[in-house]
Amino acid sequence: MEIRWHILLAIMGASIVTLLPRVLPLMVLSRMQLPEWAMRWLNYVPVAVMAALIGQELFMADGKFEISRNYIEILAALPTFATAILTRSLLGTVVVGILTVMVLRLIL
């Protein structure tokens, strides 16, 4: 079996480029005492990221505002949003979203 060095180097380079912006801030911030306002602000980051990703999927098409024509996604968003609001659990929200899409695809 021949090793393709260029592929291995590309994978290693991509790993390093992906790892650095994730690990370096974590290492630096873990040694610092952040003020209370910064900690409160950081609590909203996961919610904002999730809302941006979901909003883009449901309400954008070709860079323009358009409600998704895929009604399964819209229907699946309802129990997913309810789970997010009631439980405030990212894992629970993702699981409910995935299961809802699976069930809707099976029955519709």
- How confident is the model over 14-23, as pLDDT tens digits? 999 999 998 9
Evaluate if residue 1 carries a pLDDT over 70.
Answer: no
- Predicted pLDDT at 48: 86
Torsions phi, psi for 35 (to 5 deg): -65, 160
- Predicted pLDDT at 17: 94
Q: How many angstroms separate the CA atoms of 67 and 56, rounded?
A: 10
Q: How many angstroms separate the CA atoms of 103 and 61, rounded?
A: 25
Evaluate if residue 42 carries a pLDDT over 70.
Answer: yes
- Predicted pLDDT at 68: 63
Amino acid letter, residue 22: R
Residue pLDDT, tens place only, 43-94: 888 778 878 888 888 888 787 888 767 789 989 999 999 998 899 888 999 9
Q: How many angstroms separate the CA atoms of 63 and 54, rounded?
A: 14
- The gap from C-alpha 30 to its chain's centroid, in whole angstroms, comes to 22
